[in-house]
Amino acid sequence: MSEDDDRQQSPPSDLEFVSNKARNCNATGSGSGNPEFQSAYPDQVLENVLHFLTSKRDRNAVSLVCKSWYRVEALTRSELFIGNCYAVSPARATARFARVRALHLKGKPRFADFNMMPSDWGAHFNPWALAMAKAYPWLEKVHLKRMSVTDDDLATLAELFLGFKELVLVCCDGFGTSGLAIFVNKCRQLKVLDLIESESSDDEADWISCFPEGESHLESLIFDCVECHINFEALERLVARSPSLKKLRLNRYVSIGQLYRLMVRAPQLTHLGTGSFSSSEIAGQGDQEPDYVNAFAACKTLVCLSGFREIILDYLPAIYPVCANLTSLNFSYANITAEQLKPIISKCHKLQVFWVLDSICDEGLQAVAATCKELRELRVFPVDAREDSDGPVSEVGLQAISEGCRKLQSILYFCQQMTNAAVITMSKNCPDLVVFRLCIMGRHRADHVTGEPMDDGFGAIVMNCKKLTRLAVSGLLTDKVFDYIGRHGKLVRTLSVAFAGDSDMGLKYVLEGCPQLQKFEIRDSPFGDAALRSGLHHYYNMRFLWMSSCRLTRRGCQEIARAMPRLVVEVIRSADEEEVDDAVEILYMYRSLEGPRTDAPKFVTIS
Amino acid sequence: MEGRVAYENDLNLKATELRLGLPGTHEEQQAVSSRVGNNKRPNDESDDQNETAPPPKAQIVGWPPIRSYRKNNYQPKKTESDGGGIYIKLSMDGAPYLRKIDLKVYSGYPELLKAVENMFKFNIGEYSEREGYKGSDYAPTYEDKDGDWMLVGDVPWGMFITSCKRLRIMKGSEARGLGCGV
CA distance B1 to chain A (A): 34
Residue B72: Cβ within 10 Å count: 13
For chain A, percent of residues with pLDDT exceeding 70: 91
The full length of chain B comes to: 182
**Within 13 Å and on the Cβ side, how many CA atoms surround A556?**
21
Query: CB–CB of B59 and A386 under 8 A?
Result: yes
User: CA triplet A189, A191, A194: central angle to 5 degrees?
Assistant: 130
User: What is the pLDDT, as a whole number, of residue A287?
Assistant: 63
Taking a C-beta distance cutoff of 8 angstroms, is the pair B61, B33 a contact?
A: yes
Mean pLDDT, chain A, as a whole number?
Answer: 91
Closest-CA residue to B58 (of B23, B35, B40, B33): B33
Query: CB–CB of A384 and B22 under 8 A?
Result: yes
| SS3 category, B21 | coil
Instruction: List pLDDT tens digits, range A186-232.
Output: 999 999 999 999 999 999 999 999 999 999 999 999 999 999 999 99
Instruction: List pLDDT tens digits, range A114-172.
Output: 999 988 999 999 999 999 999 999 999 999 999 999 999 999 999 999 999 999 999 99
| Complete domains list, chain A, with CATH | 44-77 (1.20.1280.50)
The model's pTM: 0.77
Given CB atoms, is A252 within the 8 Å cutoff of chain B? yes
Instruction: List pLDDT tens digits, range A487-497.
Output: 999 999 999 99
Given CB atoms, is A577 within the 8 Å cutoff of chain B? yes
**From residue A55, how far is each of A50, A96, A252, A561, B180 by CA, in Å?**
11, 18, 37, 33, 60
Tell me how far apart the alpha carbons of residues A363 and A356 are, in angstroms, rounded to a whole number: 13
Chain A residue with CA closest to B130: the answer is A281
Instruction: List pLDDT tens digits, range A64-94.
Output: 999 989 999 999 999 999 999 999 999 999 9
CA distance B30 to chain A (A): 11
User: What is the pLDDT, as a whole number, of residue B120?
Assistant: 82
Decide which of B110 and A501 is more confident: A501
Tell me how far apart the alpha carbons of residues A587 and A375 are, in angstroms, rounded to a whole number: 38
pLDDT of B44 > 50? The answer is no
Q: What is the mean pLDDT of residues A228-245?
A: 96
User: What is the pLDDT, as a whole number, of residue A390?
Assistant: 84
Closest-CA residue to A551 (of A523, A511, A591, A521): A523
User: What is the pLDDT, as a whole number, of residue B50?
Assistant: 38
Query: CB–CB of A282 and B109 under 8 A?
Result: yes
User: What is the pLDDT, as a whole number, of residue A38?
Assistant: 64
Q: What is the mean pLDDT of residues A443-449?
A: 96
Tell me how far apart the alpha carbons of residues A179 and A598 are, in angstroms, rounded to a whole number: 26
Tell me how far apart the alpha carbons of residues A203 and A200 are, in angstroms, rounded to a whole number: 9
Instruction: List pLDDT tens digits, range A313-367.
Output: 999 999 999 999 999 999 999 999 999 999 999 999 999 999 999 999 999 999 9
Decide which of A539 and A119 is more confident: A539
Taking a C-beta distance cutoff of 8 angstroms, is the pair A147, A123 a contact?
A: yes
H or E stretch covering A461 = helix A455-464
The full length of chain A comes to: 607
Tell me how far apart the alpha carbons of residues B95 and A82 are, in angstroms, rounded to a whole number: 65
Q: What is the mean pLDDT of residues A515-524?
A: 97
Instruction: List pLDDT tens digits, range B71-100.
Output: 876 655 433 334 457 888 898 888 888 888
pLDDT of A288 > 90? The answer is no
Query: CB–CB of A335 and B75 under 8 A?
Result: yes
Asked if ipTM goes beyond 0.95, one says: no
pLDDT of B23 > 60? The answer is no
Chain A partners of B109 at a C-beta cutoff of 8 Å? 282
Q: Name which of B61, B64, B154 is nearest A385 (Cβ-Cβ).
A: B64
Tell me how far apart the alpha carbons of residues A315 and A279 are, in angstroms, rounded to a whole number: 10
Residues in B lying within 8 Å of A, measured between beta carbons: 22, 25, 34-39, 56-57, 59-71, 73-77, 108-110, 127-129, 153-159
Tell me how far apart the alpha carbons of residues A260 and A280 are, in angstroms, rounded to a whole number: 13
Taking a C-beta distance cutoff of 8 angstroms, is the pair A215, A241 a contact?
A: yes
| Complete domains list, chain B, with CATH | 107-176 (3.10.20.90)
Query: CB–CB of B127 and A357 under 8 A?
Result: no
